[in-house]
Each structure stands twice: as structure tokens, then as C-alpha cells.
């Protein structure tokens, strides 16, 4: 019996695959547990429409991330940090502080986990912070750290 998988099934196939299984396995395991549906013309057409819709949504998400990335790269965020004698910096600027400053100054809600800051910023000046907006889109945010 031909079956279209609705979920990944170990040692059988991935979601959306059309596989050939024995009738008993399909009736007793795949269909009752909702892991797949019979591969008839209607279900094949539904699968095709669902894949087309998912591709369209993925394309829209990519375009939105690219537009948001351009918007982020055009702007900058400024933070202040305490500085002692001889230009020695007390503390550092973390991704959490950058995310809060972006929300306060620019009005964008960016998750601190999306910021690819290798280590906290411990110096004055301008630093480019990469922000991963989408698996295919990474934007650079300009962070200006100045003396408080």
C-alpha cells in the first residue's frame, strides 16, 4: 500500500515522502497513529498544495528578513559605559544590554540569542554586531559604545 507520510518515521522516510509499506503495517501502525495517509489522488493533491503554500510562506519570510536586515544596517545604537583613569573600562556591554537599547532607541524587538556576539564588548568605540534574522540572512548592527 502506498502511503504519504505526515511525520518523519524512523527507518521509513521523512514528512511528505510517498512510501510503499505492507497493508498490515499501514492499517495497524501508520494510519491509526496519524503518521500518514493513504496515497490517493486527493491526498496527493493536498500534499502538493501544502508544499506550494509552505514554499510561498518561506519565500515571504526570507524577503521580510532581508528588508528588516537592510533597515537595521542603516541605523545604529549608542550605549554608555563607565570609564576610569587612563581609559580603563569598568564592566562590559552584553547582548542583553544591546537588545534593550535597540528596543528603547529604535523600537525593534530583537532577541538577544540572535546576536552573534562572540564576547562582551569591553572597549569604547564602534563595533559591528552580527544579528542572525533568518538562516540565510545576517545583518550587521552598528553599536557605538561611549564614555558615561
Q: Among the three residues 46, 63, 80, which one is the final residue of a domain in this structure?
A: 63
Give the structural domain span for 110: 67-147
**Together in a domain, 72 and 143:** yes
Q: How many domains does the chain have?
A: 2
pLDDT tens readout for residues 32-61: 999 999 999 999 999 999 999 999 999 999
Residue 2 has pLDDT above 90, yes or no: yes
Q: Which residues contact 123 (CB under 8 A, 6 or more apart)?
A: 89, 145
**Together in a domain, 51 and 78:** no
Query: CB of 20 within 8 A of CB of 38?
Result: no
pLDDT tens readout for residues 107-133: 999 999 999 998 999 889 999 999 999
Amino acid at each position: 500500500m502506498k502511503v504519504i507520510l505526515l511525520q518523519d518515521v524512523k527507518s521509513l522516510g521523512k514528512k511528505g515522502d510517498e512510501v510503499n509499506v505492507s497493508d498490515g503495517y499501514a492499517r495497524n501502525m501508520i494510519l491509526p497513529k496519524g503518521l500518514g495517509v493513504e496515497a490517493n489522488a486527493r491526498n496527493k493533491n493536498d500534499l502538493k498544495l501544502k508544499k506550494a503554500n509552505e514554499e510561498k510562506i518561506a519565500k515571504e519570510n526570507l524577503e521580510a528578513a532581508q528588508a528588516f536586515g537592510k533597515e537595521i544596517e542603516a541605523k545604529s545604537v549608542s550605549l554608555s559605559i563607565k570609564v576610569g583613569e587612563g581609559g580603563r573600562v569598568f564592566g562590559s556591554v552584553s547582548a542583553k544590554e544591546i537588545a534593550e537599547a535597540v528596543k528603547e532607541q529604535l523600537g525593534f524587538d530583537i532577541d538577544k540569542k540572535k546576536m552573534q556576539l562572540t564576547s562582551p564588548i569591553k572597549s569604547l568605540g564602534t563595533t559591528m554586531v552580527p544579528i542572525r534574522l533568518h538562516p540565510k540572512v545576517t545583518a550587521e548592527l552598528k553599536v557605538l559604545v561611549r564614555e558615561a
